[in-house]
Structure 1
Amino acid sequence: MRVHFIAIGGSAMHNLAMALHDKGDQVTGSDDEVFNPSKSRLESRGLLPEAYGWFPEKITKDIDAVILGMHAKGDNPELLKAKELGLTIYSYPEFLYEEAKNKTRVVIGGSHGKTTITSMILHVMHYHNKDVDYMVGAQLEGFDVMVKLTDTNDFIVLEGDEYLSSPIDKRPKFHLYQPNIALLSGIAWDHINVFPTYEEYVEQFEIFLNQITNGGAIIYNEEDPEVKRVVEASTSLIKKYPYKTPLYVVEDGVTLLETPEGDMPIEIFGKHNLNNLEGARWICQLMGVDADDFYEAIATFKGASKRLEKIAESESAIAYKDYAHSPSKVKATTEALKAQYPDRKLVACLELHTYSSLNPEFLKEYRGALDAADSAVVFYSPHAVMIKNLEEIKTEQIEAAFKRDDLVVFTNPADFKTYLFTQDFKDTSLLLMSSGNYGGLDFQEVKKYIK
């Protein structure tokens, strides 16, 4: 098959391009700019466009499928040419469904935890040499690519994102997969630019449940009140299996999970991650992995990239970075690190970087999110606010939203860096939460200061 990618450089898009290339398809693509790691990874397979920009002459009648990335615009010259020629145009999730429609589709949905749960499932399958197709939103240890497609595997495990499919398809991605087995981890308002009210956001998960095939199954986190309400109200002809956080204890910075064979030390920590683990166990069970085999494998799981990722450690201090940016993720991650090292001071830093987090209307959702921290710091860039065409945010608004009198707010990257690297980190846990990099912070530099 000959496939052309419009906006091949995106995180998801370049991984799909590599997966199709590895499967033996003929892959081409265009983009107006490609950054690392996408650039070097595409280059290694000979898929990096020779020149940046959009070239309608690349779009010819012999192309079997055009895949349109979110980065492209609706008036993209290559897209217009593809429409003119009557070519088959897919969004990313549409194409994944087309490749997976004859497989058992396992879709992991939720406002938070979906990348970690998907990663746990794939880790367990990989550990036991069970080959499955997949799409996950983070780089995993032992996996070369974030997307794998074959003509032979029975199962495909898909991370179910609720964001839009493409510039010309405004449906959330996870509405297109039609799962046979699904999981719902949590519902907490996000993507305010697309779903301006909480009710509209919740409705997307109700639609997701309706997309599960008749006779299929939903595994759901019964500790999340909104998830419990939405699932139990669903009249779809599906089986419903609730799960909750398993029993565990923390001793000297080590989490011990209670199992039928006794307490077992695990690499991950935090109540939210133990909750994720139980959801993954249920899914693995439905995919044919029994509890004993699951526990054996999960004991070696170190976490998905950028999710509570340890970046430095000494005898008396430790530093983690985490992708957390939505209020529920920030709260869960901050509480997890404080619970893991209760006798250490916790310095929690959050960068407001996404459209939702920089929206004055949404800011109030962060109330209490940093309460578990001993020192709480918020960084945001006024330039990022301007680029996103949002209202100007004042420091007073940030302080009022978080409801902490001692909150420290920075808008200048140099000032934030000076603050960070003049701290005494003895007997301290440092948490850096962001989907960005604090205006240019080198996370590796943190190692010099954790002594």
Structure 2
Amino acid sequence: MNIHFIAIGGSAMHNLAIALYQKGYQVSGSDDTIHNPSKFRLEKYGLLPKEFGWFPEKIVSDLDAIILGMHAKKDNPELLKAQALGLKIYSYPEFLYEQSKNKTRVVIGGSHGKTTITSMILHVLNYHEKEVDYMVGAQLEGFETMVHLTEENDFIVLEGDEYLSSPIDMRPKFHLYKPNIALLSGIAWDHINVFPTFENYTDQFRIFTNSMVHGGSMIYNEEDVVVKDVVESSENHIKKYTYQTPKHFIENGITYLETAEGNLPLEVFGNHNLQNLAGAKWICQHMGIDEDDFYEAIASFSGASKRLEKIAENNSTVIFKDFAHSPSKVAATTRAVKNQYTNRTVLACLELHTYSSLNAEFLAEYKGALDPADKAVVFYSPDAVKIKQLDAVSADQIAAAFERDDLIIYTNPKEFKDFLYCQNLENTALLLMSSGNYGGLDFEELKTMI
């Protein structure tokens, strides 16, 4: 097949481009800007466009398909040319479904935990040398790409994102996969620019549940009351299996899982990660991995990239970087670190960076999210608010939203960096939560603090 990508440089898009190239397809693409690691990786496979920009002359009638990324706009000149020629235009999830129509589709959904659960499943399958196709939202140790597609593998494991599919397809991505096996980890309001009410957001998970193949299996976290209601109220003819936080204990900073074969030390920690593990176990069992084999493999799982990722540690200090930005993720991650390091000072830093987190009306959702931390800092950039064309938010609004009298707030990247570097981190767990980089914080340099 001859495939052209419009906006090839995105994290998901460039991985799909590489996967199709590895499958033997003829692949081309365009983008107006491409940054590393996408740029380096596309260059490695000879897929980096010779020059940046949009070139309608690349869109010719003998192309078998166009794959359209979210970075493109509706008036993109290449898209307009493709529409004029009547070419088949796919969104990223739409094309993944086309590639997996004859496979057993396993889709992991939820507001939080889906990347980690998908990563756990792939880690276990890889450990036992069970080949599957996959798409996951983070780079995993032992995996070259975030997307892998073949003709021969029976299963495909897909991380099911609820965000929109493309500029011309307003359906959430996970509505397009039609899973045979699915998981829902939790539901907490997010993406308010697209789903303006919690009810509207929750409805997307109802549609996802009802989109499952009849007779399919839904695994769901029964400790999340919204998930429980969504799944149990569904009239779709599917099998329903619950999971919950497994029995465990913490000793000398290590979390142990209680199993029939004895206590199993884990690399990961926190109730949310233990719930993720329980869900991943159910999925793996549906894919032919028995419980003992699952435990053997999961003991070496150290986490997905940027998900409670330990970036530095010595005898008295540990530094974590985490992608958490939504209120439920921030609360779960902060609580997990404090529970794991009860005898240390937990310094939790949160960057408000996404559209939702910088929205004045949404800020109240963060009430109490940083309470488990001994010291709490919020950083946000007024420039980011302007770029997203939102109303300005003040330090007073943020302080009122978190309802924490001793909350420290910074809006200047240099001042935030100076604060960090003057901290005595002896007997401290430093937690840095953001989907950004605090206005240019050098995480490699940060490692030298300890």
Range of TM-score over shorter length: over 0.9
Q: Distance in 2 between the 1:260 and 1:296 partners?
A: 13
Aligned counterparts, 1:67-146, within 5 A: 67-146=67-146
In structure 2, what is the Cα distance between the partners aligned to 1:250 and 1:61?
62
1:50-69 mapped onto 2 (5 Å cutoff): 50-69=50-69
- Name the SS of the counterpart of 2:405 in structure 1: coil
RMSD in angstroms over aligned alpha carbons? 0.4
Structure 1 CA distance, aligned partners of 2:331 and 2:220? 21
Please say if 1:261 is aligned against 2:261: yes
The within-5 A match list for 1:163-182 is 163-182=163-182
Structure 2 matches for 1:322-341, cutoff 5 A? 322-341=322-341
Cα offset, 1:346, TM superposition: 0.3
Per-residue Cα deviation, 1:54-99 (whole angstroms, up to 9, x for no partner): 0000001111010000000001000011111111000000000000
Query: In the TM superposition, what is the alpha-carbon distance from 1:112 to its structure 2 partner?
Result: 0.1
* Paired residues for 1:31-430 under 5 Å: 31-430=31-430
Deviations 1:217-249 (A, max 9, x none): 100000001001111111100000000010011
Q: What SS does the aligned partner of 1:21 have?
A: helix
Which 5+ residue runs of structure 2 have no aligned equivalent?
A: none
In structure 1, how many angstroms separate the alpha carbons of the residues matched to 2:400 and 2:202? 26
Q: How far off its partner does 1:413 sit?
A: 0.1
The amino acid of 1:329's aligned partner reads: K
Q: Distance in 2 between matches of 1:52 and 1:151?
A: 32
1:100-146 CA deviation, whole Å, 9 max, x = no partner? 01100000000000000000000000000000000000000000000
Matches of 2:259 and 2:25 in 1, distance apart?
Answer: 45
**Aligned with 2:144: secondary structure?**
coil
Matched letter for residue 212 of structure 2: I
CA distance in 2, matches of 1:404, 1:133: 46
> Distance in 2 between the 1:232 and 1:141 partners?
36
CA distance in 2, matches of 1:29, 1:321: 33
CA distance in 2, matches of 1:400, 1:211: 41
State the alpha-carbon separation in 1 of the partners of residues 139 and 253 from structure 2: 26
CA distance in 1, matches of 2:449, 2:93: 43
Which AA in structure 2 matches 1:433? M
Shift of 1:40: 0.1
**Structure 2 CA distance for aligned equivalents of residues 99 and 392 of structure 1:** 44
Equivalent position amino acid for 1:374 in 2:
D
Letter in 2 for 1:422: C
1:434 matches 2:427:
no
How far 1:448 sits from its partner (Å)?
1.4
> Which runs of no fewer than 5 residues in structure 1 stay unpaired?
none
Inter-partner Cα distance in structure 2 for 1:252 and 1:7? 48
Measure, in 1, the Cα distance between the counterparts of 2:215 and 2:271: 31
Q: Deviations over 1:254-304 (max 9, x none)?
A: 111111100010101111000000000000000000000000000010100
CA-CA distance at 1:408 after TM superposition: 0.3
- Aligned residue for 1:296, secondary structure, equals helix
Secondary structure at the counterpart of residue 178 of structure 1? coil
Aligned AA (1:164) = L
- Write the distance in 2 (CA, Å) between the matches of 1:447 and 1:159: 31
Q: What displacement does 1:6 show?
A: 0.0
CA–CA distance in structure 1, aligned partners of residues 434 and 196 of structure 2: 22
Work out the CA distance in 1 between the residues paired with 2:246 and 2:350.
Answer: 29
Q: 2:265, 2:97 → 1: CA distance?
A: 38
Q: Secondary structure at the match of 1:330?
A: helix
Q: Which SS does the other structure have where 1:437 is aligned?
A: coil
2:192 alignment partner, SS class: coil
CA distance in structure 2 between the aligned counterparts of 1:224 and 1:114, rounded to whole angstroms: 14
**Separation in structure 2 between the aligned mates of residue 390 and residue 235 of structure 1, nearest angstrom:** 40
Cα deviation, residue 214, structure 1: 0.3
What is the rounded CA distance, in whole Å, between the counterparts of 2:122 and 2:60 in structure 1? 37
Q: CA deviation at 1:446?
A: 1.6
Aligned-residue offset at 1:324: 0.2
User: 1:5 maps to which residue?
Assistant: 5
Q: Which amino acid aligns with 1:161?
A: D
Q: Deviations over 1:37-59 (max 9, x none)?
A: 00000000000000100000000
- Which residue identity lines up with residue 362 of structure 2 in the other structure? F
Deviations 1:327-370 (A, max 9, x none): 00000000000011100000000000000000000000000100
CA positional deviation for 1:444 = 1.3
Q: Distance in 1 between matches of 2:417 and 2:359?
A: 24
Structure 1 residue 22, shift from structure 2 partner: 0.6
For residue 302 of structure 1, give the secondary structure of its aligned residue in structure 2.
Answer: coil
Aligned length: 450
Paired AA for residue 206 in structure 2:
E
Describe the SS at the equivalent of 1:130.
Answer: coil
1:199-230: CA deviation from partner (whole Å, max 9, x where unpaired): 00000000000100000010000000100111
Runs of 4 or more above 6 Å deviation: none
Helix, strand or coil at the partner of 2:321? strand
Deviation at 1:445, TM superposition (A): 1.4
What fraction of aligned residue pairs are identical, expressed as a percent? 71
